[in-house]
Structure 1
Amino acid sequence: MANLKKDNLSIIETIALSVAIIAPTAAMSVNVSLMAETASFSAPLIFFISMIVVGLVSYSVIKFNHYFSSAGSLYTFTQKALGNRFGFLTGWALLLAYIMLAAGCCAELGAFFSKFLNYFGIQIGWFPLAAIFSIGIIFLGIMDAKLSTRIMLTLEGLSIFLILILSVVILFKVGSTKGLSSMPFKTNGNSFSTLASTSVLAFLSFIGFESASSLGEETRNPKKFIPLAIGSAVFVTGIFYLLSSYSQVIGFGLDAKGLKALSSSSLPLTDLSTKYISRTFGIFLLFSASLSCFSCSLGSVCAGSRILFSMSKDGILTKKLSILHKKHNTPYVGIILITIVALVLQAILFNKDGIEAFNYLATIGSLAIIVSYIFTSIGAIVFFKRTKEINNLSIVMPILSIITLLYVLYANIYPIPAFPTNIFPYIVLAWLILGFIINEKLTRIAKGIVLDISSESVH
């Protein structure tokens, strides 16, 4: 069986995949305004708490990467610690997260690029644009991973630089006139349940930090580079989120009028650019946000295809998913499959606004990846106990992450949120039940084959 291209990626390309899927620009282009609808001015506080929680989860992921270098990422780690059943469920949940993120970011891409074209008098709906960009995602996903990751990093790096410029300008202008306030880092009357349920959007902004693990078979010196890539993705991006979310909140204003403007803005960065710099800068920032969404969708497809590749190599899924491209050694079957499924999901929501479609799909993906993080954290406790590496950090860090993540899941079930958000946790549950049934069926088939072989050898 063919393998992924070994020692193909440097530390730069490895970091690139995590940063691309996290897509800081895409996250800051819409998530703060969505969070303001339920948590008012407290988005920076939620990002700060979420960064700490994701940091706790990243501890287990980083530790696992010191032991295993596999395209399977969290699927492989949990499988080694908790066995095939929980390994499959972790990979299954992670796969749903990547599919939903690929679909959601592509919908967001269509929405942003549609609005960008509107400035030039061109009217095209978000879904046709998303369908066109999906072709490019397939093409670049199949190409050598070195090329695709560098393209993703370049696109995201440009976008982040522009947002940093905007953030600094806002901080300077607001600070020199009204003065800076600590209000965005307070609860502002929000309950812990509200902050927790809203934090799903913050977790969404960090989804992908673990994706560098899926390059374990393609990265040079993976046990050194991948932990470095993961740590950088979490904390450097987290600091960027704190700066950007804070500047957005104070940029719109810390009063009822400012909150209404922020929560109702579909393009907060563009609106702020027009207010504090220029309309042209806002249009250019909108274009760069489109590029960020493209890199996020591309990165999600690439990471998801490698999960499918690992499951296929392990004999859990059809062997066709482990077929590699003859020239580029990339899992092209999985890339095409995930992109098509993502496009179908977008088609189902084509009558919705592209940003709304993104919110639906990405929220489901966030809940799914939280399940993966919980299984991985449990696996970390079991694995490091087995390897006699139990110490205070090895116990405390995973336990704290499990408790926090369970509370976030609970807060998204009760109090019961409005439709359709109330059904999202049950979509994830249905997916996990389907995965459990598939795994049990495949396990019985595999056992039957082994028994048949054994009986034939006896005779």
Structure 2
Amino acid sequence: MPPSGLRVKSPDLLIAESGADLEGHGLKRTMGLFQLVCFGVGAIVGTGIFVGLSDTVAQAGPAAAVSFVIAAVTCVFTAFSFAELGGAIPVSGSSYSYAYATLGEGAAFVIGWCLLLEYGVSVSAVAVGWGQYLNELLAGVIGHQLPAALSNAPGEGGVVNLPAVVVMLLAATLLVRGVRESARATAFMAVLKIAVLVLFCAIAFTAFKAGNLSPFASHGVAGVTSGASVAFFSYIGFDAITTAGEEVKNPRRTVPLAIMICIGVVTLLYCLVAFAAVGAMSADAVADRPAALSLIVNQVTGSTLGGGIIAFGAVVAIASVVLAVMYGQTRILMSMSRDGLIPRVFERVSPKTSTPVAGTWIVAVVFAAPAALVPLDVVLNLTTIGTLAVMAVVNVAVIALRRTRPDLPRPFRARLFPLTPLLGVGFCLYLMYGTGPATWAQFAVFLAVGALVYVCYGRPRSRIGARAGTDGSRVPARAGASVSTRDGG
């Protein structure tokens, strides 16, 4: 009998269970391609570019755009794997479900645990960035900012970051009202944030000075690598598209297409913004300025009006990321709850709104705490390494699924297989190396805690364990679906 952690949940069972949750109230398919692309852009474009740009420039200097390209290449290779798996297994669990279908229950739980970093902790980081631009907006509109005690974490000269808590509670309120309402709001905010970044580029390029790009790689290859690790945070969220698999029309076609469109649009936008920013105000001036885009526009235009517009766009942009990422976290927890690995409260869907109301509020309250009390730079690196680890596993999963289920319908197939997923793994490990020893140590502790939670709580309560029986035999869970162990197929 193989260890329980190696039990694999077949793609057929995953898809069968996605038709309705275990409480009898299913999610509704209301999102089309445009809404899903907007949802993806909404999940990606936010704190990483509006706030994190200055951190990338601090590491890479004028070569910051190269760092964004390296981070994008990592995402492109992994996006191929996400697109294939998202079309083949169109369910809400994203990386967690893919790991369950290929690598087994133990690996799936660890991936779900890491997704708490990508979605839960990252939404805290995003919320912190929202507060910084809110202050810029208030300064431009009324000439006053929130007191530092109420807008900064304790390690940054404050007592509590109140704006970060407020934006998370507002996002939760919108999410529990329904997916259709959330999708409409996200689409509006996605279009607005793209327009604001295009406006920034148009203004900044009027003051472009080629001399600001020299010396180009002022901090060397190591600086570009570290910058790429930081820049990667700007791309976190594109895989959130796969968490909407149960609420998308024609998901096998729509999910892969939306992933590729989002990566292309965002990469082009980020490179333009990086070049425009450094060209207009030099790398040294941009580095370590949290609201650098507003500062650049103020300097170029000679007034605070333009910077106020950029700050408004940033406030809207970052709020949409909070909304989209919190949505993704609740859907992943729902999938884990269905499997019995976490408490059942996360799988309950309201019959009135067709949303996981209780799970959404729990996520909002729990992750509002680090948003209110932890400095931004502390959570950025930990979120990045956790996300990269998840993406490395997704690339492995696409290889495993090709071997174990070659018959599974795949509307999108990763190009140049198996080269692209192997390159995806390599680039993920490369960027993980760039996060530094301290982050690796924190991540090791985080994984150890996750493994302990699985052994003590998840494994004894696994529903697949109950179905498979103590002898590890294959037992049908529903018509046409099965649970299997490694030696059972």
TM-score range for the pair, normalised by the shorter chain length: 0.7 to 0.9
For residues 54-203 of structure 1, the aligned pairs below 5 Å read 54-119=75-140, 120-124=142-146, 125-126=150-151, 127-174=161-208, 178=209, 187-191=217-221, 193-203=222-232
Residues 248 and 272 in structure 1, CA contact (< 8 A), matched pair in contact too: yes
Q: Which amino acid aligns with 2:312?
A: F
Match status 1:273 vs 2:297: yes
TM-aligned CA deviation for residue 15 of structure 1: 1.6
Q: Which amino acid aligns with 1:199?
A: A
Residues 4 and 217 in structure 1, CA contact (< 8 A), matched pair in contact too: no
Residues 304 and 334 in structure 1, CA contact (< 8 A), matched pair in contact too: no
Going from structure 1 to structure 2, the CA distance change for 1:261 and 1:181 (only over 3 Å counts) comes to: closer
Q: In the alignment, what sits opposite 1:375?
A: 393
Q: Which amino acid aligns with 2:261?
A: S
Q: Which amino acid aligns with 2:310?
A: L
Match status 1:220 vs 2:249: yes
TM-aligned CA deviation for residue 6 of structure 1: 2.7
CA distance in 1, matches of 2:406, 2:325: 35
Q: Which amino acid aligns with 2:342?
A: L
The correspondence for 1:330, drawn from 352, 355, 359, is 355
Residues 6 and 217 in structure 1, CA contact (< 8 A), matched pair in contact too: yes
Going from structure 1 to structure 2, the CA distance change for 1:391 and 1:210 (only over 3 Å counts) comes to: closer
Going from structure 1 to structure 2, the CA distance change for 1:328 and 1:443 (only over 3 Å counts) comes to: same
The correspondence for 1:321, drawn from 346, 355, 360, is 346
Q: In the alignment, what sits opposite 1:438?
A: 453
CA distance in 2, matches of 1:377, 1:131: 35
TM-aligned CA deviation for residue 101 of structure 1: 1.4
Q: Which amino acid aligns with 2:92?
A: A
Going from structure 1 to structure 2, the CA distance change for 1:317 and 1:102 (only over 3 Å counts) comes to: same
Moved over 6 A (4+): 389-392
CA distances 1:121-151 after superposition (whole Å, capped 9, x unpaired): 4342321222222321110111211211221
The correspondence for 1:402, drawn from 425, 438, 459, is 425
The count of aligned residue pairs is 427
Match status 1:44 vs 2:59: no
Q: Which amino acid aligns with 1:171?
A: F
TM-aligned CA deviation for residue 431 of structure 1: 2.1
CA distance in 1, matches of 2:233, 2:266: 13
Going from structure 1 to structure 2, the CA distance change for 1:51 and 1:316 (only over 3 Å counts) comes to: same
| Local SS of the residue matching 1:272 | helix
> Greater shift after overlay, 129-138 or 328-337?
129-138
Going from structure 1 to structure 2, the CA distance change for 1:159 and 1:436 (only over 3 Å counts) comes to: same
CA distance in 1, matches of 2:67, 2:145: 36
Residues 78 and 376 in structure 1, CA contact (< 8 A), matched pair in contact too: yes
TM-aligned CA deviation for residue 283 of structure 1: 0.7
TM-aligned CA deviation for residue 363 of structure 1: 2.4
Q: Which amino acid aligns with 1:360?
A: V
CA distance in 1, matches of 2:278, 2:414: 41
Residues 78 and 379 in structure 1, CA contact (< 8 A), matched pair in contact too: yes
Q: Which amino acid aligns with 2:425?
A: I
Q: In the alignment, what sits opposite 1:457?
A: none
Q: Which amino acid aligns with 1:18?
A: G
CA distance in 2, matches of 1:429, 1:291: 35
| Local SS of the residue matching 2:417 | helix
TM-score, structure 1 as length reference: 0.87
TM-aligned CA deviation for residue 3 of structure 1: 4.3
CA distance in 1, matches of 2:415, 2:178: 42
Residues 229 and 434 in structure 2, CA contact (< 8 A), matched pair in contact too: no
TM-aligned CA deviation for residue 325 of structure 1: 2.0
Q: In the alignment, what sits opposite 1:283?
A: 308
TM-aligned CA deviation for residue 272 of structure 1: 1.6
Going from structure 1 to structure 2, the CA distance change for 1:264 and 1:348 (only over 3 Å counts) comes to: closer
TM-aligned CA deviation for residue 90 of structure 1: 1.4
| Local SS of the residue matching 1:122 | coil
CA distances 1:144-190 after superposition (whole Å, capped 9, x unpaired): 1121122122123212212212212332442xxx4588759x53451
CA distance in 2, matches of 1:392, 1:249: 35
CA distance in 2, matches of 1:274, 1:219: 41
Q: In the alignment, what sits opposite 1:426?
A: 441
TM-aligned CA deviation for residue 217 of structure 1: 0.6
TM-aligned CA deviation for residue 317 of structure 1: 1.3
CA distances 1:305-330 after superposition (whole Å, capped 9, x unpaired): 00000011122111111011231111
CA distance in 1, matches of 2:414, 2:167: 48
Structure having the larger proportion of residues in helix: 1
Q: Which amino acid aligns with 2:440?
A: P
Match status 1:393 vs 2:416: yes
| Local SS of the residue matching 1:8 | coil
Going from structure 1 to structure 2, the CA distance change for 1:382 and 1:264 (only over 3 Å counts) comes to: closer
Q: Which amino acid aligns with 1:235?
A: G
Give the percent of matched residue pairs that are identical in Structure 1 and Structure 2.
20
CA distance in 2, matches of 1:324, 1:219: 17
Residues 176 and 357 in structure 2, CA contact (< 8 A), matched pair in contact too: yes
Alpha-carbon RMSD across the aligned residues, in angstroms, is 2.4
TM-score, structure 2 as length reference: 0.82
Q: In the alignment, what sits opposite 2:372?
A: 347
Residues 377 and 399 in structure 1, CA contact (< 8 A), matched pair in contact too: yes
Q: In the alignment, what sits opposite 2:20?
A: none
CA distance in 2, matches of 1:136, 1:83: 37
Residues 86 and 375 in structure 1, CA contact (< 8 A), matched pair in contact too: no
Residues 33 and 262 in structure 1, CA contact (< 8 A), matched pair in contact too: yes
The correspondence for 2:39, drawn from 14, 17, 22, is 17
TM-aligned CA deviation for residue 402 of structure 1: 0.8
CA distance in 2, matches of 1:409, 1:37: 18
TM-aligned CA deviation for residue 97 of structure 1: 1.4
The correspondence for 1:411, drawn from 422, 426, 434, is 434
> Greater shift after overlay, 106-115 or 44-53?
106-115
TM-aligned CA deviation for residue 284 of structure 1: 1.6
CA distance in 2, matches of 1:7, 1:428: 36
Could you list the runs of 5+ residues in structure 2 that have no partner in the other structure? 1-22, 152-160, 408-412, 474-489
| Local SS of the residue matching 2:123 | helix
Going from structure 1 to structure 2, the CA distance change for 1:445 and 1:272 (only over 3 Å counts) comes to: closer
Q: In the alignment, what sits opposite 2:10?
A: none
CA distance in 1, matches of 2:69, 2:309: 28
| Local SS of the residue matching 2:73 | helix
Residues 16 and 150 in structure 1, CA contact (< 8 A), matched pair in contact too: no
CA distance in 1, matches of 2:284, 2:236: 28
Going from structure 1 to structure 2, the CA distance change for 1:332 and 1:362 (only over 3 Å counts) comes to: farther
